[in-house]
Amino acid sequence: MRRIGELLPAVLAAAILLSCLPFVAAGSPLVEDPGADGAAPPPASGDQPSAKPPARGRVAVPEDDPNFVRMLDALADRAALYRKRALGFSCRETVIIAKYDIESGNFRKSDKTAYDYLFEERPGAGLHEVREEVVEKRDGEEKTKGTDFEPNVTAAYAWATLFSRENRGRFHFRPAGQVVKAYRLLTLVDFVGTSPNPGGNDIAGWSGQVALEARSLNLWSVEAVPSGQDARLEVEITRYRRAFAIAGVPLASRPHGWKLNVTFGMDVADLSYPTEQILGMTSLAHSQKMVVEQKTTFRYEDYKFFGVETGQEVKEIEQPPAPPPRP
């Protein structure tokens, strides 16, 4: 009893201190005194807050810029016009396949073939390239014959439909600034194709950069590689170096890379048309560098629109004269 009597004053003091603290209902948040730091008083019971707390701001990305979005819409309209004009022309296609020695880099040989070229529309398959090989007789007269030549690369004119609304879900576009070339202001757009089959004759299998004439939004040029090529080559080169070799020659297949360049160098009726497409194939040499092994050049000239010749053609690049033989 004496022990309890000694503790009683301390217990009474603690009770008095607790009674001085602000009352807090069970489960209610403790609110600071608004007079202490200027905080707003809590809403009365049954009242709703006047406004919700502000949401966290979304990080802006270049492709969401309103000006870029409007440009993509304009390019989609432009692509629809290109698609409509695809069936309204024919031209002469010249294909030059040049091969090089990957170890020395020296030219080996080349083949040159000319074709009459146009598009036709097939039900359920869209646009399809049609070629007839041009054969020149001894008397200079030309005739054509059927051919089974179908290069494993997208048609040059197909890049005009890159920004079509049908392709919106197959590509990711991003603005890349502007540049001046040949006294023209060009708008650059990076694109990434999402096709599961990189490269080939589907433009969605390619990634790169397209240059557009800033004023007309006509295509100027395209530079592209198969989507994901850098990562693929890194894996293939590592595997090739580690592969079992016989007489110094690895048994694994040699890694190859591709690069595509397309030039839209002719303007007719407010649209631009392709004049050259170059597909380069590189291979891994003993120097452990990717060296050009084959280059296929497609040249387009003698365009005819509904039987009317444009009078424009792509001139052959003049080669420097060969040096005189040494004495």
The string of DSSP letters for 269-281 reads TTEEE--EEEEEE
What does the block give as tokens for 309?
């010749």
Strand-strand pairing, 219-226 and 266-268 = unpaired
C-alpha span between 246 and 249 (Å, rounded): 5
Given a contact cutoff of 8 angstroms between Cβ atoms, the answer to whether 292 and 282 are in contact is: yes
Q: Residue 289 and residue 58: Cα distance in Å, rounded?
A: 43
Q: Which pTM does this prediction carry?
A: 0.74
CB 135 within 8 A of CB 198: no
Answer yes or no: is 14 within a domain.
no
The DSSP letter of residue 287 is T
Q: How far apart are CA 79 and CA 158, in angstroms?
A: 10
Query: Domain containing 221: what range?
Result: 62-306
The closest of 205, 219, 223, 209 to 279, measured between CA atoms, is 223
Q: Which two tokens stand for residue 113?
A: 């073939």
Q: For residue 21, what are the contacts with CB-CB under 8 A and spacing of at least 6? A: none
Contact between 187 and 209 (Cβ < 8 Å):
no
Residue 43 lies in a domain: no
> Within a domain: residue 53?
no
CA–CA gap between residue 325 and residue 322 (Å, rounded): 9
Asked if the structure places residue 51 within a domain, the reply is no
Closest Cα to residue 98, out of 298, 242, 234? Answer: 298
Q: What is the mean pLDDT of each run of 10 residues along the chain (327 residues)?
A: 48 47 41 46 54 58 89 95 92 97 92 95 80 84 90 94 93 96 94 94 96 95 97 93 77 91 93 97 92 97 73 42 45
Does a structural domain hold residue 7?
A: no
Residue 300 sits in a domain of what CATH number? 2.50.20
Flag whether 37 is in a domain. no
Residues 6+ apart with CB under 8 A from 59: none
Q: How high is the pLDDT of residue 36?
A: 45
173 occurs within a structural domain? yes
CA distance 233 to 288: 12
How far apart are the C-alpha atoms of 155 and 223, rounded to whole Å?
14
How far, in Å, CA of 302 to CA of 308, rounded? 10
Instruction: Specify the pLDDT at position 32.
Output: 45
Please, what is the end-to-end C-alpha distance for the chain in angstroms? Answer: 132
Q: What is the CA radius of gyration of the chain?
A: 35
- pLDDT of res. 60: 73
Query: How many independent structural domains does the chain possess?
Result: 1
Q: Which of 173, 203, 193 is nearest to 71 (CA)?
A: 173
Taking phi over 0 as left and psi of -120 to 50 as alpha, with beta for the rest, 305 belongs to: beta
